[in-house]
Homo-oligomer: A and B are copies of this chain.
């Protein structure tokens, strides 16, 4: 008997035939792109402003206000404070089917403040910075939304374009709360992208993720004079940890379980009456993860049972793995190839060369590769994202553009620097154009929407999305005030 790692074996459907090469289509595309070139600098400026705001998850007040202002002035109807989150919103234009959504993020990361120079130098020491390029993410998506809206209006093409302002992707799970509130239910297709080091569409996936804090309540006693009177919450944490370690052998090998002890007792003199463990579990499949998670909860219950303590669990986050969409990836790939890669000015080249000397590229990407379109990504990443939940509700397509110097690691001062300057802005403009062209394909060719939906139904294989959030759980609006991430 043998066991193999489940890689994705996918046959690329040849959806595109003669129709998409017709003259009318080509003309429409040219009009759309010309219109976008005229608007590019404005959104580059927007992205720079958000980069300077550098607001962390759920605190992106000025960032979201700026995007809302752009969209409102372009004629979009806004729905604000979705799911009770001050910075979550959608902006819609048009009516009827299809409803095409575009996701935008705009939260920064703690501690990554950086100037746009090729050496580590904070703008404000210790302050947040856009190390994941979400300033570009939100701006490109709004840029695409405004552009396609103008095109639909001009060409009188029916349908609805909608921008989603989705806060706190970095650990706060904004989209998951928006999903629970039904924000994506009437969409036909969702398009999204992410800043990166290469230009490529993706049918890759990632890991479903559930995390929680397990809190144990015991009974304090003097540790020297009356340890038998105490019931140690730390003992419960230790035993839960031990139990989780024993669990590792008996879950699928792709599973990841990791934990830290966030409270290990107050003073050695006293039997701890409180202790806390913060645990993540991940797996490429949410239903499998559900089963694993249930066993982790039993480990926590066992810790309490064996130590005569009480356990409470607070769910912190829960994200589905991304359900990839073959049809949308093929569309993104085609439009990427239509538009071509990114070319640096001599100044940008000099910056890129200087920056390249500060890191060793782990993904094998070399300087220059930004000029090409890479093959469609097909692997499973060991990361997690709240895009995952959206992708199980609506067919969702994903791609990256080279907003960073190739080889740059995410969440680094280098990616922060690129995100605030022309290199990042070029990648952002390419992303906006790919989003707009692909939306245009979907608005004008119902078969493309059908293909996306067909692949969605095939891949989810009957699984119905169900939010893992408890009904009464509120968004952790202040999660950046204290929690580690």
Residues of A in contact with B (beta carbons under 8 Å apart)? 1-5, 7, 204, 207, 211, 222-228, 230-232, 234-235, 237-239, 241-243, 245-254, 256-269, 271-272, 277-280, 282, 295, 298-299, 301-303, 305-308, 362-363, 379-384, 409, 484-485
Secondary structure of the A contact surface, majority rule: mixed
- Of B239, B251, B280, the residue contacting A239 (CB under 8 A) is B239
The answer to whether B230 touches A239 (Cβ under 8 A) is no
Most chain B beta-carbon neighbours within 10 Å: one of A225, A258, A269, A299 = A258
- Complex Cα distance A208/B271, Å? 19
Q: Which residues of B contact A301 (CB under 8 A)?
A: 302, 305-306
What's the nearest-Cβ distance from chain B to residue A190, in Å? 23
The answer to whether B261 touches A264 (Cβ under 8 A) is yes
The answer to whether B362 touches A1 (Cβ under 8 A) is yes
- Complex Cα distance A449/B4, Å? 31
The answer to whether A265 touches B260 (Cβ under 8 A) is yes
- Complex Cα distance A447/B449, Å? 56
Closest B residue by C-beta to A232? B250
A-B contact pairs, 6 of them (CB 8 A): A1-B381, A1-B382, A224-B280, A224-B382, A224-B383, A261-B264
- Complex Cα distance A243/B243, Å? 10
What's the nearest-Cβ distance from chain B to residue A287, in Å? 14
Most chain B beta-carbon neighbours within 10 Å: one of A261, A298, A363 = A261
The answer to whether B305 touches A223 (Cβ under 8 A) is no
- Complex Cα distance A305/B227, Å? 26
What's the nearest-Cβ distance from chain B to residue A196, in Å? 12
Q: Which residues of B contact A5 (CB under 8 A)?
A: 4-5, 7
- Complex Cα distance A247/B305, Å? 12
The answer to whether A268 touches B259 (Cβ under 8 A) is yes
The answer to whether A226 touches B264 (Cβ under 8 A) is no
The answer to whether A306 touches B227 (Cβ under 8 A) is no
The answer to whether B271 touches A280 (Cβ under 8 A) is no
What's the nearest-Cβ distance from chain B to residue A295, in Å? 6
- Complex Cα distance A259/B272, Å? 9
What's the nearest-Cβ distance from chain B to residue A57, in Å? 14
Q: Which residues of B contact A230 (CB under 8 A)?
A: 250
Closest B residue by C-beta to A219? B250
Q: Which residues of B contact A223 (CB under 8 A)?
A: 256, 258, 280
What's the nearest-Cβ distance from chain B to residue A195, in Å? 15
Q: Which residues of B contact A224 (CB under 8 A)?
A: 207, 256, 258, 280, 282, 382-384
The answer to whether A225 touches B266 (Cβ under 8 A) is no
- Of B231, B248, B261, B271, the residue contacting A258 (CB under 8 A) is B271
- Complex Cα distance A437/B259, Å? 58
From known contacts A231-B250, A246-B238, A260-B264, infer whether A380 and B2 are also in contact, taking CB-CB under 8 Å. Answer: yes
